[in-house]
Each structure stands twice: as C-alpha cells, then as structure tokens.
Amino acid sequence: MRSFLQQTEKRKFYMSQDTIVAAASAMSNAGIGIIRISGEDAFTIMDRIFRSKDRNKRMLEQPSYTIHYGHIYDERGELLDEVIILLMKGPHSYTAEDTVEVDCHGGVLIMRRILELIIRQGARPAEPGEFTKRAFLNGRLDLSQAEAVMDVIQAGNQLALDSSLHQLKGSVSSRIRSFREQILYESAFLESALDDPEHISLDGYGDKLSGVLKDLIKQMDAMIDTFENGKIIKEGIKTVILGKPNAGKSSLLNALLREERAIVTEIAGTTRDVLEEQLCLNGFSLKLLDTAGIRTTEDVVEKIGVDRAKEQARDADLILYVVDSSCMLDQNDEEILKLLQHKKVIIVLNKSDLPSAVSREILEERIGVEYDVVTLSAEKREGIDLLEESIRDLFYKGSISFNDEFMLTNIRHKNALTEAKSALLRVQDSINAGMPEDFYTIDLMDSYTSLGYILGEEMSEDLIQEIFSKFCTGK
C-alpha cells in the first residue's frame, strides 16, 4: 500500500505554491466580513499591512491559534479598517498551510479595499473551492470529505445536514478504506503465493477468497441501497401536486407554504407552468411543484403546461393527487390515474367544506389501489396538518427510511462502488469457473482502483477541477 507521504507527493504535483485570498463571507453589507488568506506568504503579507497596539509585534513570530486586534493600513499609510486577525500555522490549519483570517467590518467597500490591498501585496484571488482543494491536496481531507464540505454548506434540511456532517467526519471514507485494505491484503497474498509457490500454498484459497468476496459484496450492496434515500434527503422529496383544473392544487400549495405564493382564481387553467417551492417539514425537505391542471385542451399554451405536468409526474418521488370532492370523477381523472402507477401517492380529497360527490370508498373502488387518502379544505386551510402527518409517516415509517449514521448521497460515490462491486463479481465468476489464481488479481485491483476514486487516491487533474469548480469562492 502506498504510504501517506507518497500520496501527498502525488497530490502536490497538482498544486501551485502561491498565496491565495478571498472573501469567506458574502460580499454584502453586514456586521462582520471575513477575508481568508492561505499560503506561504500569508503571514508576511499581514506583517506589511497590519498594525497591532504593539507596533513591534510580527505575525511570523506569533503562536498559532492566536487572535490579534489592530488596524489595516494601505501602502500610503492610510487607515482602511479596525480588524481582528486569526493566525493558523500550517500544517494545523484548514488548508494545512499558513492561514490568516481577517475579521473586518462587513461593508462591501471596506472588504473590497482590503482584498485589493492584499492582492497588491502578492496574493492572488482564489478560485472557487480552492481552499478546500488545498486541504485535499495537502492530505488534510480525502475527496469524499471535501465534497461533504459543500454538502454541509448547501444542506436544505436537518437530515441532509446530519448526513453531510457524518460524511465529513469520515462515515464514507472509513468504510471505503476498510474495503480497500481487505482487497489489498488478498491481492498481496496472491502475488506472494504466485511468486513463491514453494513456501506459500494456494490449496483451498479459492473457497476462502469466495467467502471474503461474499461479505464485501454484501456490504457494498448495503451502501449502494442507501443512495436513493440519500438522494431524497440531500435534494428533497420531489413532490408533484397533480389534479384537474380547479381541483385546488394552487390553494394546496399556498396552504402548505402558509403564504399566498400561487395565483388562485375560479378560472380553470389559471396555472400554465410549473411553480416550484421548497418546504421544510420536520427535518426533511419537500420540493413542491404546482402544475397545470390536466385536461384535454386545444389551447396551445395550456397544452404545453399539461405536458410539463405529466413529465414532472413521471420523475416525482411523491405525488399529491388533488381531487375536487364536490365533483364526480371524469375522463380527466382517468388520465391522471395512469400517471400514478408505480408511484408513491397521497390522494388529497379537497373542498371538504362543500357537499361531497366523491368519497374514499368511491376512490378505492375506482382506482383499485390502496393509497393514503387525506380529506381537507385547502382554501380554508383545514386538515393541512393531517396531510403533513401522512407525508411524515410515509417518510419515516414507509418505504423511505433513514439511518442517521450513514447515507450515500453522491452519485459519483455510487457509481464507483457499483464498479468496484462488479469487479469483485468477476473475481467470483473466475473462482466458480476454476480459472488460474493470477486471473483473480486483475479484477481485485480493478475493484481497489474504483474505490480509490471515492477517496481521491486514484484521480486525474480534470476530475479534481470539475469537483472543486462547483464550490463557492472562499471555501
């Protein structure tokens, strides 16, 4: 196995050694602004522009993890701002390099002037995600942990945040490293035995290796199986509100959001396009999509809206089928029912405040499939809590489950795991076919390499650039 030093040297091949700077807080008026500097000249630059009460204090001579109060001055000696600076010496910093964070007043003009000053002093503007990229290249984080940093920032609900924090602490990387250690052990044993058959016997080894592979494949399957739920937790449950015109879809959206977000009128076909909103519900997110009412129409614009509604329904994680309980089911409902097949569905019997023409029993007889049915009045906002409870029950108790200790959320990780598993299955096929043992090592190392893509130990510069280009500047 390659040593940590060998891996670090390979990573440094991709690195530039210059000093970078960026705003780590938003460039908007606020109480405090944060500017981050990282690189070998970070402390030297601060010595040129920062003056503390003790004018003889040099930043290069100060201990790591210390805070200093003073002022920033430009080259002409003009006062720019009153600041606090935080010193973190490498390798014990986020980037594993000498790092300075400047806490200044949060005005856009002040932050811009300090940034421009630091750039004039020799730093360059950081690229998106370059601080985290350096943390990875310096061995501070593996690639799965680096990706988790952005997931933490972008988390839209508590479950997504919990999952991202677990990954940042190593929930993914620890398992992947365990898999790689087992695979490498078996591969090394095979190589040794093939090189020295007089002293190392391979009698019965195929059966032993088969048992190891069976356990590894089972564990990989368990990880891969968490992806669909992990994707929902990370991105939110894509919840499409479906129904005929005037069934009360937009009223339901407004009731769930507790605000008048969608236009509601008595004119059928008011909603022409898909309206998307986010709702946080007990720690997880709903990506709510209000759609055009589904009906046969000659109106060109409305027809486009109907087609888009059907397209969204096909990709939905959950469909809220809104039924106007004051009207009989018709041909348009028949069209909608076709879209519900093989989907998670909650039927919303709306307009409970009006005389009923459709009951739960009629729906069950007509549909022939048992779905959760919630009766409510979206306009009067009565029964909304029952719908939310039904969604929560489906999420926590039904087919969508959550393990707060581990959840695979990254499609890149899933694909790499799938490739690693496929390679192990090829080894198993070779054992079953009675192939020579040297055939095993090829696929074992293919599996080892695929797992390395998750950690970033098997990587290309293009992959690194692609991943970190999605980060925000300053992180």
pLDDT at 425: 96
- Residue 165 pLDDT greater than 80, yes or no: yes
Backbone angles phi, psi at 287, to 5 degrees: -95, 95
Structure tokens at 249: 């879809």
Please state, in angstroms and rounded to a whole number, the distance separating the CA atoms of residues 269 and 447.
54
Strands 275-281 and 284-290: antiparallel
Whole-angstrom Cα distance, residue 143 to residue 470? 14
Q: Are strands 30-38 and 99-106 parallel, antiparallel or unpaired?
A: antiparallel
Structure tokens at 353: 């405040």
Tell me the pLDDT band of 290, cut-offs 50, 70 and 90.
confident
Neighbouring C-beta atoms of residue 216, cutoff 10 Å: 20
Fold classification of 149-226+408-455 (topology level):
Four Helix Bundle (Hemerythrin (Met), subunit A) (1.20.120)
pLDDT single digits (tens) 2-40: 444 444 444 544 455 799 999 999 888 888 999 999 999
Question: Alpha-carbon distance 355 to 361, whole Å?
Answer: 16
DSSP secondary structure letters along 202-249: -TTHHHHHHHHHHHHHHHHHHHHHTHHHHHHHHH-EEEEEEESTTSSH
State the pLDDT confidence band at 398, using cuts at 50, 70 and 90: very low
* More reliable by pLDDT, 11 or 419: 419
* In the chain, where the domains are located: 4-142, 149-226+408-455, 239-397
Residue 405 confidence (pLDDT): 57
Q: Which residues contact 107 (CB under 8 A, 6 or more apart)?
A: 29, 33
Q: Cα separation of 384 and 252, whole Å? A: 8
User: How far, in Å, CA of 450 to CA of 421, rounded?
Assistant: 9
Q: What is the pLDDT of residues 168-213, one digit of tens each?
A: 888 899 999 999 999 999 999 898 888 887 788 888 888 899 999 9
Q: Which two tokens stand for residue 35?
A: 């500017």
pLDDT digits (tens, 9 = 90+) for 44-81: 999 999 999 877 788 888 999 999 999 999 999 999 99
Judged by average pLDDT, the poorest of 138-142, 395-399, 444-448, 450-454 is 395-399
What size, in residues, is the chain? 475
Q: Which pLDDT score is estimated for 22?
A: 95
Q: Say which range, 297-306, 349-358, 424-433, has the weakest mean pLDDT.
A: 297-306
Point out which residues pair with 104 in neighbouring strands.
Answer: 33
CATH class in words for 239-397: alpha beta
The two structure tokens encoding residue 431: 């054992």
Most confident of 76-85, 150-159, 223-232, 458-467: 76-85
Would you say domain 4-142 falls under CATH 3.30.1360.120? yes
